[in-house]
Each structure stands twice: as C-alpha cells, then as structure tokens.
A and B are shown apart, each in its own frame.
Chain A
C-alpha cells in the first residue's frame, strides 16, 4: 500500500492522461466515423470511394505505423504536431475507421423501407439519414460500438512509445526505479485501465437496454 501512496501522483497523472487520450480520441473517432459512414452510404460516388479508401487504409494499418507517420513522418513535410495532440489524432483517425464500419452495419440493419418512406415524404438524403435512419442505426450498434471504444481505450497504450506519459509508460518507469515491486506496478496499471473500461462497459450496457428496440 505504501508503494501506491508514495507514487500516487504518478499514477494519478498517468491515469488522467490515459483518460483524456480516450475521451478526446473517442470523440474524434465517433464524429469522424459517423461522417464516414454517411459518406459510405451516400449516393455520391466520389464520397463513397473516398470513405472506402479511408476505411481500408486505416483499418488495415497497424496503429503503431499510424503513430509513426503522424509523429515522425509529418514533420518531414514541415507539419510538426505536439506529442499529445499527435497521439489523439492517431488514435482518433485509426478508430474512426472501425466506428464507421460499426455504424454502417447499423445503417444496413435499418429496413430499407424506412429510408424509402422518408424519401417518399420529401426528405432529402441528409434529412432522412439524420432524422430517420441514423437514430435507428445507433440503437442497434451500441454493442459493437462499445467494443470498438473499449479496444480504443487499451490502444491508447501505444502512445507510451511516442512520448506521452500515460498509464503503461509507468511500467518501465516504476519498474526500473522499484525493481522489486513489479507485481504492484502491474496491478496499479491494470487497475488504472479498468477504472476507465469497467464503468464504460457498465454504462454502455445500460444505454443498450434503454435504447433497445423490440422487434
């Protein structure tokens, strides 16, 4: 226990960093991912092509490579970004591809009659998506979206290798300074992640039950 008391400040700061990475990265991923999903089902071919290209690029690239590109690649073309904003960008851009596919699966799950009826009523494509299709789609994608976001929280650990002092960067730091306390360090880090993921999973479950549609 004394070990955690002594290193409380470190654990707190690292936890807050992981939390902000998760919140900001998740926000970026949700907004961008939803936009991409709208592109992917849009009637405009170039938008569909663009979104498909984006999804296939980011979904099939390791996150570490995305990090490398943003942190070390972009400065080569004189676009220097800070390490923390860079990490948020990498995590958000990467996760957006997965969010897009989850949301698209939800859109596909909405009976096509719904969109057709909306169009028949005179709603534009954008209106029918916003007012009719997406609200129903989001209800069905809560579980897969939850998976994507929980995976993202754990993916934030990659930022440790790119100069962001988040939870898993405590592993080498504290282990090197307290080589005998390896297990305590591991437990502390795991608990830090679980403080984010377990309540999130619980909240997602409640949202899922609340918005479930009886078919």
Chain B
C-alpha cells in the first residue's frame, strides 16, 4: 500500500516536472524568435565602458520586477517587459547575448545607490528623468514618455475625470514615487493612501478602501489589463514622465553610445517591435511615436 502511494506521488511529481520543462522550452523558443540580433564583431576604443563590457561579455542591468508590461518577473524567474527589451537592445549592440545579462531588481528607492556603487551598469526601470536625479546619475534617452493618470473602479462611481476631482477623495499610490509627490505638491486636498507596491492599491480599490489609484499610465494599464471587469482608466494623462536609462555620472561616452543605440532602434523598427511584444501586447495599442533623445 505504502509503496503504491509512493509510486503514485513520484509519478505525479514526474508529470509536473515534465509539464514545466516543456513549457520552459516553448518559452525559450518564443524568446529566441523575438530577440534582436546580437552584434558579433564589436570594436570600441580601449578604456571606455563599452570596451570593458564587451570584453567581459556580460552586463548587469537593474529593472523593476513588479510592473506589468515594463519589467515583471515571470514564473521562471526571468524579467519580461519593455524595459527589459530596451536593456537587451543595448546589450546586443555591445555584443552581449540576452542570456549573458544579469538582471537585478531595482526599486524606486535604490536606483541611484545601485548605480553609484557600481552594483549595476545600467538601470532601465520606469525611471523618470528629473533635475534632482541628474545631480546623481547620468541619463540616456528618454526612450518613452509616460504620463500620470488615474484608475477608478469600473463605471467610475465617484465621477472622477481628472486630478482636480481628487479633492477629498481617497487616492492610492506608492510611497516614495514621483506620482505620490506630485499629488502632495499639486493637489494637496486629495487624501493619499500609500502602500509599498501598486498591487495593494488595486486590492484596496477592489475593496472600496480607496476611490482611485494614481501613477504613470503604463503601470495603470497593466493593472486594468489584469482586471478589466473591475477597473477602468480615466485616460487623461496630466504630467509628462520621460523614462531614461540611468548610468554612472560623468560617463559621457557610454551615454552617447546608448543614445545612438536608441536612435538607431527608433529608426530601424526594433524599438516599435519591442513595444509591440511587451507593453503593446497588454494595452493592445500600437507603438507611439518614439520620443526625442535628450543629449543634455
């Protein structure tokens, strides 16, 4: 009896494992179809960051692990999204294959220290370019311009059409984020409820504990896509959030290189293709016009 049960368990475990491996295989195949061509003979001036990275054959990139469409850790432990694809584009031009990229989770609060301490070579993590941050790190890009928007319960029971309607309402965002600070500064009459991740804001909105959720439209779009019967987007972005690629302060050559790579990808369609298979696949919208790279 005991042996039969043991055998049955092992068989079940075997089935599960077999299922996993074939799934993983399919995903790997899919990914291979999508990957941008990795440059093979790269040649950079000695002493530059590009030469060092190309020589090492590996790069460490920080991204977010909790933003559907931009950087989300999939069940296999690999991040996926538009930020991740942009990271791969840059790595490819350095002659580094996607599997040689080391991904590191960066959250809003640790992006600057990670760059300054050299724990990551690049940060591609829905990272808004602003003047305060320019004092600490350099930004290539922008490679995308998001805007702060508002998400409400389906049917918009509170009739919120823009940030001016948030006065006296309970608005959810994430502590330490630019959108939260923007509400504090520009719309002080709104009651802020601040969690540490946006998924909790979605739960709170479902439960009716808050009236609205506000952050960059791309993040909200991911949340709406996850629960289209529960949420809807107001759809009127009221800020401009240019997403840049963070790198070590003063490494102008590396910054110029990344800007060149971005401009090239805007032109040859790699950028739009990356959008279509990540964020675009969630929103169902076509890739927007690429932004103008800011060589400040």
Q: Which residue of B lies closest to A76 (CB)?
A: B207
Assuming the contacts A161-B195, A161-B196, A179-B136, asked whether A172 and B176 have C-beta atoms less than 8 A apart, the reply is yes
Q: Which of B11-49 contact A (CB under 8 A)?
A: none
Q: Which of A75, A80, A165, A171 lies in contact with B109, CB distance below 8 A?
A: A171
Assuming the contacts A75-B208, A80-B209, A177-B181, asked whether A162 and B108 have C-beta atoms less than 8 A apart, the reply is no
Knowing that A80-B207, A163-B193 touch, tell me 10 more A-B residue pairs with CB under 8 angstroms. Answer: A75-B208, A76-B207, A162-B200, A172-B108, A172-B175, A172-B176, A173-B180, A176-B178, A179-B112, A179-B136
Q: Which of A140-177 contact B (CB under 8 A)?
A: 160-163, 165, 169, 171-173, 175-177
Assuming the contacts A75-B209, A83-B193, asked whether A165 and B175 have C-beta atoms less than 8 A apart, the reply is yes
A78 to chain B, nearest CB (A): 10
Among A72, A160, A176, chain B packs the most CB atoms within 10 A around the CB of A176
Can you report 29 residue pairs joining A to B where beta carbons are below 8 Å apart?
A72-B203, A75-B208, A83-B193, A160-B175, A162-B200, A163-B172, A163-B193, A163-B195, A165-B175, A169-B175, A172-B107, A172-B108, A172-B109, A172-B175, A172-B176, A172-B196, A173-B180, A173-B194, A176-B108, A176-B109, A176-B176, A177-B132, A178-B132, A179-B112, A179-B113, A179-B133, A179-B136, A182-B112, A182-B113
At the interface, yes or no: B164 with Cβ under 8 Å from chain A?
no
Residue contact B204 to A163, C-beta cutoff 8 Å: yes
Contacts of B177 in A (CB 8 A): 172, 176
Measured CB to CB, the residues of A under 8 A from B are 72, 75-76, 80, 83, 160-163, 165, 169, 171-173, 175-180, 182
Q: Which residue of B lies closest to A169 (CB)?
A: B175
Give the size category of B's interface with A: 20 to 34
Residue contact B175 to A72, C-beta cutoff 8 Å: no
Assuming the contacts A160-B196, A161-B200, asked whether A173 and B176 have C-beta atoms less than 8 A apart, the reply is yes
9 closest A-B pairs (Cβ-Cβ)? Answer: A172-B176, A75-B207, A176-B176, A179-B112, A161-B196, A172-B109, A175-B109, A163-B193, A72-B203
Assuming the contacts A72-B200, A180-B135, A182-B113, asked whether A162 and B175 have C-beta atoms less than 8 A apart, the reply is no
Contacts of B208 in A (CB 8 A): 75, 80
With the chains together, A173 CA to B204 CA distance in Å?
20
With the chains together, A76 CA to B203 CA distance in Å?
10
Contacts of B174 in A (CB 8 A): 172
Q: Which residue of B lies closest to A165 (CB)?
A: B194
Residue contact B135 to A162, C-beta cutoff 8 Å: no
Among A76, A169, A172, A182, chain B packs the most CB atoms within 10 A around the CB of A172
Q: Which of B109-126 contact A (CB under 8 A)?
A: 109-113
A169 to chain B, nearest CB (A): 5
